[in-house]
Amino acid sequence: MDRNKQLFEQSQITIPGGVNSPVRAFGSVGGTPIFFKRALGSRLWDENDKEYIDYINSWGPMILGHAHPEVIQVVQEVAKGSLSFGAPTERELTMAETIVRLVPSIEQVRLVSSGTEATMSAIRVARGHTRRDKIVKFEGCYHGHADALLVKAGSGALTFGQPSSAGVPHDVAKDTLTLPYNDTEALRELFDQMGAEIACVILEPVVGNMNLIIPEQEFLLTLRRLCTDHGVVLIFDEVMTGFRVALGGAQELFNVIPDMTTLGKVIGGGLPVGAFGGKKEIMSQLAPHGPVYQAGTLSGNPVAVAAGLKTLELIQEKNFHTRLAEITSNLVTGLTQIAKNKGKEFTARNVGGMFGMYFSSKAPNSFDEVMTSDRESFKKFFHLMLEQGIYFGPSAFEAGFVSAAHTQDDIQQTLDAAEVAFAAF
Ligand code: KE4
């Protein structure tokens, strides 16, 4: 029997759904999740020793490619000095100073162990700072699984049709207001009605959790101005876009500056690191000096921070992001052309090293447009490519990711597989 099938059957006995994160279960594409045992560069190997080109890259962290020798080396070195102290280390200071230097809107930053912790904490600080309760998010955006944010959420919540999760008390969800992404008029109306009650607005400045959606400049500029005018904290959730779409993230790309930023994924280099930061005036609300409590046993973990620091060092190499954007653009341009030649309704686009593929005639700019894409075609395409050793995200509502280890040969192999896949359905 196929090892993946065997492991998946067995995993479902002791792990809910057989996975430790829902999107991994292949629920929306069907079939059996692939169990991987190792990876190197752009490649993955499953438990049957089948090789794949990886376009998930752990949902963003593996921007250098898997098992980068310098990252592995520093992890091995630091681990020899113990794995955790629960006390301050110089390395955390270096990480904080690096983040502050690379993301100038961040004057102070605190490390945590996941993107969820980062967004949950940022919202609490914003509520403490403004003494207001309401928060605003956008339908289809995903910011991790903190109660207040599992309202009309994206990613796995959208994939499995539960954008507003069970188990979130009404009294929590009632303070979360949701708006349509890229709808400037709806923004204006809400701020006119309730601007004085809103603590913060949190958004993905490039959305990767309802597939890839690019913000309209007017939407971002209006949001920035309304938050300033009403004393609302503007939080850019750059857990996915941070250090990926540009060295300084989406805020550098669009030149719109938030009051707070959340980070994750790339800053851990594959180990658990998240971060939230922003203006010192806001961050000074945090314990131990301020009244807003937030804490974490493994926050700033020395081994995870070492992996993140080495990753941040290497992505500062000259032209790193230019090259990443170029090779990702070669992928999306090639896929779009092949689909067109085969008469398929398909388009793809990228922002830096993250990309979206859409089985629709044009790239969507809103949640409603995303929902019109053809999920059955995605499902067929996904499996036809998987059979040929190309591993895309098992959901029509996820962005894909390219690493610096991907070569033009990898792209060509992917395009050759797409020729076969698009011809087959
Ligand atoms: P984590 O708690 O999963 O580290 O981060 C939550 C999060 C916050 N903000 C954004 C913009 C995110 O994309 C995420 C997590 N991304 C998903 C992928 N769509 C993680 C994959 C998963 O849930 O298994």
- How does pLDDT run along the chain (425 residues), one tens digit per residue? 799 999 999 999 999 999 999 999 999 999 999 999 999 999 999 999 999 999 999 999 999 999 999 999 999 999 999 999 999 999 999 999 999 999 999 999 999 999 999 999 999 999 999 999 999 999 999 999 999 999 888 888 888 777 789 999 998 999 999 999 999 999 999 999 999 999 999 999 999 999 999 999 999 999 999 999 999 999 999 999 999 999 999 999 999 999 999 999 999 999 999 999 999 999 999 999 999 999 999 999 999 999 999 999 999 999 999 999 999 999 999 999 999 999 999 999 999 999 999 999 999 999 999 999 999 999 999 999 999 999 999 999 999 999 999 999 999 999 999 999 999 98
Q: State the distance from the centre of ligand 1 to the C-alpha of 127, rounded, in angstroms.
A: 22
CA-based R_g, the chain, Å: 21
Quick one: fold of 3-67+318-423? Aspartate Aminotransferase, domain 1 (3.90.1150)
For residue 153, the model assigns a pLDDT of 87
**CA–CA dist 278, 202 (Å, integer):** 13
Check pocket membership of 114 for ligand 1, CB cut-off 6 A. yes
* Confidence (pLDDT) at 160: 77
**3-67+318-423 and 69-315 agree in CATH topology:** no
Instruction: Report the nearest-CA residue for atom 13 of ligand 1.
Output: 240
State whether the beta carbon of 272 lies less than 6 angstroms from ligand 1. Answer: no
- State the Cα–Cα distance between residues 115 and 145, nearest whole angstrom: 9
Residues 6+ apart with CB under 8 A from 163: 139, 140, 151, 152, 153, 154, 157
pTM of the shown model? 0.98
Q: How much distance in Å is there from the Cα of 141 to the middle of ligand 1?
A: 10
Q: Is the CB of 341 under 6 A from ligand 1?
A: no
The verdict on the CB of residue 144 being under 6 Å from ligand 1 is yes
155 Cβ below 6 A of ligand 1: yes
113 lines ligand 1 (CB under 6 A): no
Residue 237 φ/ψ, nearest 5 degrees: -85, 95
Q: Which atom of ligand 1 is nearest to the CA of 117?
A: 2
Angle subtended by helix axes 320-341 and 408-423, to nearest 10: 20
Q: How far is CA 76 from the centre of its chain?
A: 27
* Cis omega (within 30 of 0) for bond into 61: no
Give the ligand 1 atom nearest the CA of 241: 11
41 in helix, strand or coil?
strand
Centroid of ligand 1 to alpha carbon of 71 (angstroms): 22
Q: Is 265 among the catalytic positions? A: yes
Q: Which of 134, 265, 344, 379 is catalytic?
A: 265
CA gap 128, 123 in Å, rounded: 9
- Positive or negative, the CA dihedral 23, 26, 29, 34 is positive
Nearest CA to ligand 1 atom 9: 143
Q: Which among 240, 265, 355 is the best mutation to test ligand 1's pocket, defined by most ligand atoms within 8 Å of the CB?
A: 240
Instruction: Please report how the helices 69-79 and 302-314 are oriented relative to each other, as an axis angle in degrees rounded to 10.
Output: 150
What CATH code is assigned to 69-315?
A: 3.40.640.10
- Structure-block tokens of residue 148: 């207040």
Is ligand 1 within 6 A of the CB of residue 25? no
Domain ranges, ordered by start, for the chain: 3-67+318-423, 69-315
- CA–centroid distance, 115 to ligand 1, in Å, is 6
Does ligand 1 come within 6 angstroms of the Cβ of 238? no
Q: Which ligand 1 atom sits closest to the C-alpha of 264? A: 4
Nearest atom in ligand 1 to the alpha carbon of residue 272 is: 4
Q: What is the pLDDT of residue 156?
A: 86
The pLDDT assigned to 1 comes to 72
Can you tell me which atom of ligand 1 is nearest the CA of 144? 6
Q: Which residue's C-alpha comes closest to atom 23 of ligand 1?
A: 21
239 in contact with ligand 1, CB cutoff 6 A: yes
